[in-house]
Amino acid sequence: MTLGEKIAKLRTEHRLSQGDLAEKIGVSRQSISKWETGSSIPDLDKLVVLSELFDVSLDTLVKEQEPEESTNSQPPAPQQLPEKYPPRKIAGWILLSAGLLSVVFGVAFNNPALAILGGYLLLCGIICQIVKKHPELVIGWGTFLPCAYFLPWFTSANMRMVFHPYAYQGGLSIQLIVSYIFWVVLFLLIFLTVKNTRMKNYPFLFCGWVILSQVYGFIPIAFRHTEEAMKYALVLSWCVILLLIALVFFTGKCLYGYFKKRK
């Protein structure tokens, strides 16, 4: 059995797709496909990662012949059974039940707020049922982005006000506190997304674009205000412009390298 056949066999035994295996060891799915077909072989450091992931020795993984059965008296570790009912689906059913009850009571007692909450819980439950990977991140971003967008519509607060000097003239107001809370939630979502998804390969680009999406309205200040009181705002606005230029440059560089590698 060749190295590629062994990788494919072990991957299948561990119930991993090529994309799942690629994500675990930090390569592209095309690299896994090339290894399994024999078009290329993994580097030594990737072989070490594969041996640790599949719990086999390097000799067993690399040698062409089938390894002889070990005479070790210790019984083999029991194979982990596939999870029949993942926790995300349990959470999904709980959210669906709570959402349905909220909608029923909201309609019965003529309470629009309770009915809207029920609709939101129903949507979260559906996401937990159909999204296999990181449904909590989908719910988090799906909740945060509309709230951040519609925040100025329902309150006098917005996330960009933390950059304006006039917002601090009356002290730390409720609007500023709400804005800071939104920024904390944003950075928490960025941290969890970078830690648990493929964005961990490009953390600075991901953080930069997300932050820029929240401060984009701050850029025109450099062309709109010239008063002495806005000097600090001007400095910050030009920093945002420099951030945009840097993001465009490094994103283009990453895309160029990606497409060049695929060729």
pLDDT in tens, 35-64: 888 788 888 778 888 888 888 887 777 776
Q: How many other C-beta atoms are found inside a 10 Å radius of the C-beta of residue 43? A: 10
Q: Are 164 and 182 in contact (CB under 8 A)?
A: no
- Cα distance from N-terminal residue to C-terminal residue, the chain: 30
Of 80, 82, 57, 79, which Cα lies nearest the Cα of 70? Answer: 57
Helix, strand or coil, per DSSP, at residue 169: coil
Q: Which residue has the tokens 């820029």?
A: 212
Give the tokens for residue 32.
Answer: 């896994």
Cα separation, 29 vs 19, whole angstroms: 5
Q: What is the pLDDT of residues 84-131, one digit of tens each?
A: 667 888 888 998 999 899 999 989 988 888 899 999 999 999 998 898
Question: What is the torsional sign of CA 31, 36, 39, 44?
Answer: positive
- Distance in angstroms (rounded) separating the CA atoms of residues 99 and 57: 50
**Highest mean pLDDT: which range of 1-15, 89-103, 221-235:** 89-103
